[in-house]
């Protein structure tokens, strides 16, 4: 782990480091104020408190943690994560698969298992990480719209519980993998129910024109179910749908559930195919800004039950759900050290030592966040500010628009809440930036979950022009065999 750079010396209270005496332009209407755990508990981890002006989480001082571990730093409140997991477990669903794409490391997998949840993974990488950490493979569900045949073989060999089939090609590959392993593999069929989630286009997945699943509308879903039935090494255990992420309006969920349940009835009536499981995905929304709403687990599940009831007796089926963000999102915060502070024409630019390499969501989805000074109680009238990263892009924004107190200055520690989901897992090395460490806090103790990447880690991958022998590819330089593309020959055979 690297140590923190010594913080720049903070100027006397009331002045900013780079633009002293600059008059503040008027605050625009409706600008969100900075709000800490006492003002907006909905966006902070459950155990977050202000103690003598310092932010504490899990009984640990954030300034002390930042001094010990450096910044940027992802911090996860174990109590918050586990509490949300239990809320889902008790939500009325028969089975809860935590969507590990939101946040995964060995310790998180163990929390999930300890709270009695199953796991949703969408790659062999996530699967192997969890199983190597002790997660029972029989409780894991695999997703993906383009799973390589080798990946299917690998997870089937290690005893995965369910594979969610996304295409006809994949059904055949999976059948072959199960046959080779001497297993009858449980399969869910992912269908696209033609329902639009009211969310950002990039995270809506259930409409008619999407890459995921078998569209219900053109009869493809039926064809998929019949294809599974044709293979003795497969068992159609369930139907899956997931309409999108960060959903706050239950209407789409209810409609999707109704359509999936209608499809289950059709399979039974028209083909005598009985499925027991309805896995209706994740997507429950959470608050990102003070005053924002959360779609509660019980509400989410009740909407799905209401939809199912339109077509089926809910007692005939087992309902599974796949929350990710709703469990991991508010458990996590990111700590940044403030560097240069610059007053622009309309906004003040508060630069921090991370950016889009550790917080991609603002630039990818124009997602909104808030921030709070974690090392002291700042003073002065609020200024229209934008918290920006250190990357070479104008769109490198961490908190787009916020009213931050006047005397925020170099050396201050900013905490950005609601970064527990889709931050660590979506981090990159843009501008050769090493990825931050992940630390958990609970009961006054901090524990290292993922160490900070070092420049040496990055340098190790730079092979410096090593000559390659194309006839004897080296494992480190060739694609992993289990990720090898389907060959033309294999595709021909399938036709």
Ligand X SMILES: Cc1ncc(COP(=O)(O)O)c(C=O)c1O
Is 324 one of the binding residues for ligand X (CB under 6 A)?
Answer: yes
Q: In angstroms, rounded to a whole number, what is the distance separating the alpha carbons of residues 250 and 256?
A: 10
Residue 361 Cβ, how far from ligand LYS at the closest point, in Å?
A: 5
240 near ligand LYS (CB under 6 A): no
* 402 in Cβ contact with 385 (< 8 Å): yes
Q: Cβ closer to ligand LYS: 314 or 329?
A: 329
- 118 part of the interface to ligand LYS, by CB under 6 A: no
CB of 188 to ligand X, least distance (A): 10
Judged by beta carbon distances under 5 to 8 A according to partner kind, the member of ligand X, ligand LYS, none in contact with residue 60 is none
Strands 118-121 and 95-99: parallel
State which residue, 170 or 322, has the beta carbon closest to ligand X.
322
Q: How distant, in Å, are the alpha carbons of 66, 87, 246, 284 from that of 295?
A: 32, 12, 9, 6
Residue 361: contacted member of ligand X, ligand LYS, none (CB under 5 to 8 Å, by partner type): ligand LYS
CB of 228 to ligand X, least distance (A): 18
CA nearest to 466, candidates 478, 454, 484, 452:
478
Concatenated DSSP letters of 411-443: T-EEEEES-SSSSGGG---GGGPPPPEEEEEET
Map the footprint of ligand LYS across residues 249-308, applying CB under 6 A: none
So which residues are the catalytic ones?
A: 392
What's the CA gap between 230 and 252, in Å, rounded?
A: 33
Q: Which residues pair with 382 in a beta bridge?
A: 405
Q: Which is nearer to ligand LYS, 246 or 326 (CB)?
A: 246
Residue 95 or 242 having the CB closest to ligand LYS: 242
Q: Could you say which of ligand X, ligand LYS, none residue 375 binds, taking C-beta under 5 to 8 angstroms by partner kind? A: none
- Among 282, 332, 420, 436, which residue interacts with ligand X (rule: CB under 6 A)? 282
331 in Cβ contact with 106 (< 8 Å)? no
Residue 344 is encoded by which pair of tokens? 């622009």
What is the residue-wise DSSP string for 10-78?
PPPTT--SSSTTPPPPPPPTTPPBP--TTT-GGGS-TT-EEETTEEEETTEEHHHHHHHH-SSEEEEEH
Assess 203 for contact with ligand LYS (CB under 6 A): yes
281 binds ligand X (CB under 6 A): yes
Binds 143: which of ligand X, ligand LYS, none (CB < 5-8 Å by kind): ligand X
- Residue 421 CA to residue 221 CA, distance in Å, equals 31
Interaxial angle between packed helices 78-89 and 297-309, expressed in degrees from 0 to 180 and rounded to the nearest 10: 20
Nearer to ligand LYS, 150 or 213 (CB): 213
Q: Which does 84 bind (CB under 5 to 8 A by kind): ligand LYS, ligand X, none?
A: none
Taking CB under 6 A as the rule, does residue 99 contact ligand X?
yes
Q: Which is nearer to ligand LYS, 62 or 96 (CB)?
A: 96
Alpha-carbon distances, residue 369 vs 45, 189, 382, 402 (angstroms): 14, 36, 17, 9
Q: Is residue 100 a contact point for ligand LYS (CB under 6 A)?
A: no
Q: 108-129: string of b/e by CB count within 10 Å (b at 16+)?
A: bbebbbebebbbbbbbbebbeb
Residue closest to ligand LYS, measured at CB: 422
162 makes contact with ligand LYS (CB under 6 A): no
Does position 245 bind ligand LYS by CB under 6 A?
yes
Site for ligand LYS in 404-423 (CB under 6 A): 422
Q: Exactly one of 284, 301, 350, 360 binds ligand X (CB under 6 A); which one?
A: 284
Q: Which of 82, 84, 95, 101 binds ligand LYS (CB under 6 A)?
A: 101
Tell me how crowded residue 238 is: count the other CB atoms within 10 A of its CB: 24
Q: What order of strands is seen across the sheet that includes strand 49-51?
A: 49-51, 54-57, 60-61
Based on CB atoms, which residue is closest to ligand X, 99 or 404?
99
261, 311 Cβ separation under 8 angstroms: yes
61 lies in the binding site for ligand X (CB under 6 A) = no
Interface contacts to ligand LYS, rule CB under 6 A = 101, 203, 205, 245-246, 361, 422
Interface contacts to ligand X, rule CB under 6 A = 99, 102, 120, 143, 205, 242, 245, 281-284, 322-326, 421
């Amino acid at each position: 782990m690297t140590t923190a750079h010594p913080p720049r010396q903070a100027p006397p209270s009331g002045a900013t480091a780079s633009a002293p005496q600059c008059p503040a332009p008027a605050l625009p209407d409706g600008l969100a104020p900075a709000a800490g755990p006492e003002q907006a508990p909905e966006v902070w981890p459950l155990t977050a408190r202000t103690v003598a002006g310092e932010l504490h989480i899990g009984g640990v001082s954030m300034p002390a943690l930042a001094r010990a571990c450096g910044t940027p730093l992802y911090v996860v409140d174990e109590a918050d994560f586990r509490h949300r997991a239990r809320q889902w477990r008790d939500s009325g669903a028969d089975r809860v698969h935590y969507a590990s794409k939101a946040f995964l490391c060995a310790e998180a997998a163990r929390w999930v298992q300890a709270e009695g949840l199953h796991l949703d993974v969408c790659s062999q990488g996530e699967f192997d990480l969890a199983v190597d950490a002790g997660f029972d493979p029989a409780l894991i569900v695999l997703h993906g719209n383009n799973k390589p045949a080798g990946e299917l073989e690998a997870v089937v060999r290690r005893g995965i519980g369910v594979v969610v089939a996304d295409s006809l090609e994949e059904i055949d590959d999976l059948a072959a993998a199960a046959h080779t392993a001497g297993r009858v593999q449980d399969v869910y069929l992912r269908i696209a129910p033609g329902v639009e989630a009211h969310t950002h286009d990039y995270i809506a997945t259930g409409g008619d024109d999407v890459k995921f699943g078998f569209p219900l509308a053109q009869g493809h879903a039926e064809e998929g179910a019949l294809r599974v039935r044709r293979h003795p090494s497969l068992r159609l255990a369930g139907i899956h749908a997931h309409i999108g992420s960060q959903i706050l309006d239950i209407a789409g969920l209810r409609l999707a559930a109704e359509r999936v349940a209608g499809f289950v009835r059709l399979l039974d009536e028209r083909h005598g195919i009985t499925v027991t499981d309805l896995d209706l995905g994740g997507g429950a929304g959470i608050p990102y800004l003070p005053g924002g709403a959360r779609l509660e687990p019980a509400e989410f599940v009740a909407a799905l039950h209401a939809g199912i009831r339109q077509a089926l007796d809910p007692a005939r089926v087992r309902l599974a759900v796949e929350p990710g963000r709703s469990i991991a999102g508010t458990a996590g915060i990111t700590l940044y050290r403030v560097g240069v502070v610059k007053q622009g024409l309309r906004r003040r630019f508060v630069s921090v030592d991370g950016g889009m390499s550790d917080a991609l969501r603002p630039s990818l989805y124009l997602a909104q966040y808030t921030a709070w000074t974690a090392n002291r109680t700042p003073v002065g009238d609020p200024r229209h500010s934008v918290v920006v990263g250190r990357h070479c892009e104008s769109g490198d924004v961490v908190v787009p628009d916020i009213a931050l107190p006047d005397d925020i200055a170099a050396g201050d520690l900013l905490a950005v809440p609601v970064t527990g989901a889709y931050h660590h897992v979506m981090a990159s090395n843009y501008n050769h930036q090493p990825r931050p460490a992940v630390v958990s806090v609970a009961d006054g103790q901090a524990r290292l979950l993922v160490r900070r990447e070092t420049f040496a880690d990055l340098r190790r991958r730079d092979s410096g022009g090593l000559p390659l022998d194309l006839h004897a590819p080296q494992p480190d330089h060739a694609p992993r065999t289990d990720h090898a593309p389907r060959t033309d020959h294999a595709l021909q055979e399938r036709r």
